């Protein structure tokens, strides 16, 4: 059941193109996490970013190589039979939210478990997540523009933000 939900999350994210929209879809359809709680944007993003669901094929090898990650396996071992494991992705500090490390500090290895999704789906999700970073709401650094974080573009839905006059 969990594997089917993971597949659904990836396919709907690529279809809808938004973390907010996929969370709304999951809530509307009563789809709960394995702990029977509603999915948050943070939880969905964590699933989408996790390579544990993707196969160890050459596309994944090349993707991680392009990020300059340390790959703990020979290229010839990337045969698509097993899924991936990535270590050292976050800085672990007690009492604080984990921060992502630069991809050059990650260690990529081949797991012993089977993949749930194909590599093209996982890579497409990474590209879409990266494209969507510019649309993420950021807390304004000053209160000079009191409507910051409240106004959205009527066409694309992105947050409107103040721009200094030139």
Chain segment 38-89, per-residue pLDDT in tens: 999 999 999 999 999 999 999 999 999 999 999 999 999 999 999 999 999 8
Cα–Cα distance, 17 to 39 (Å, whole number): 17
Cα–Cα distance, 16 to 125 (Å, whole number): 11
pTM of the model: 0.77
Tens digits of residue pLDDT in 97-141: 678 899 899 999 999 999 999 999 999 999 999 998 876 555 545
For residue 34, the tally of other CB atoms under 10 A from its CB is 8
88: tokens are 């050292």
CA torsion through residues 2, 40, 90, 16, sign: positive
């Amino acid at each position: 059941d969990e594997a089917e939900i993971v597949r659904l999350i990836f396919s709907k994210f690529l279809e809808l193109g938004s973390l907010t929209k996929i969370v709304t879809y999951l809530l509307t359809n009563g789809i709960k996490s394995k702990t029977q709680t509603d999915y948050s944007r943070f939880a969905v993003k964590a699933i989408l970013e996790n390579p544990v669901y993707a196969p160890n094929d050459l596309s994944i090898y090349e993707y991680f190589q392009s990020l300059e990650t340390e790959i703990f396996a020979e290229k010839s071992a990337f045969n698509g039979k097993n899924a991936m494991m990535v270590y050292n992705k976050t800085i672990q500090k007690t009492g604080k939210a984990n921060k992502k490390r630069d991809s050059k500090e990650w260690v990529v290895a081949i797991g012993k478990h089977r993949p749930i999704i194909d590599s093209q789906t996982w890579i497409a999700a990474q590209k879409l997540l990266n494209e969507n970073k510019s649309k993420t709401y950021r807390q304004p650094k000053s209160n000079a523009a009191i409507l910051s974080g409240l106004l959205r573009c009527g066409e694309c839905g992105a947050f409107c933000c103040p721009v200094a006059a030139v």
